[in-house]
Amino acid sequence: MMQFTCPHCGPRDQAEFIYERTVDAVVSLDAAPEDAMKTLFTRNNPRGVDEEIWRHTYGCRAWMVIARNRVTNEISATRAVGPEALP
């Protein structure tokens, strides 16, 4: 099983986290219908690294972005998102 490092709670089992979608799949509220459709329904789905949004659902419930290699499961970066991550 993988271990993620939550920006708030430190290293935790992956079982505590739920995957949401990739960073580029978040539909902006003012997107044109065609763009919204593409963002909503399609994914790069690379055989390599993608930036994924995960939530520490069974922990602090915070959202975070994790850059993970989808073949090796190697995690290259984790960052918090949301108001608390603002400078």
Partner 1 sequence: MSQYSAFGLLRGALNGQKHWQPAWRDPEPKSHYDIIIIGGGGHGLATAYYLAKVHGLKNIAVLEKGWIGGGNTGRNTTIVRSNYRLKPLHDLFEFGLKMWEHLSDELNYNVMFSPRGAMFLGHSDADMTKLAERGDAMRCDGIDADLMTRDEVQKLEPLLDMSRSARFPIEGGLIQRRGGTARHDAVAWGYARGADSLGVDIIQKCEVTGFVRDGDAVVGVETTRGRINAGRVGICVAGHSGHVAGLAGLKLPVESQTLQAMVTEGVKPMINSVIMSQSLHCYISQSDKGGIVFGGDPDNWPSYAQRGNPMVMERAVAQGLALVPALSRLRMVRTWSGVTDMSFDGAPIIGETPVKNLFLNGGWCYGGFKATPASGWTYAHTLATGKPHALNAPFALDRFERGATIDETGSGPMPNSR
- Residues in the site for partner 1, rule: CB under 8 A? 1, 14-15, 18-19, 21, 34, 37-38, 40-47, 50, 52, 54, 70-73
> Least distance to partner 1 from the beta carbon of 37, Å?
5
> Least distance to partner 1 from the beta carbon of 76, Å?
15
Residue closer to partner 1 (CB basis): 70 or 84 = 70
Alpha-carbon distance 44 to 46, whole Å? Answer: 5
Residue closer to partner 1 (CB basis): 45 or 86 = 45
Residue whose tokens read 């400078």: 87
The tokens describing 19, both together, are: 């995957």
User: Is residue 72 exposed (0-12), middle (13-18) or buried (19+ Cβ within 10 Å)?
Assistant: exposed
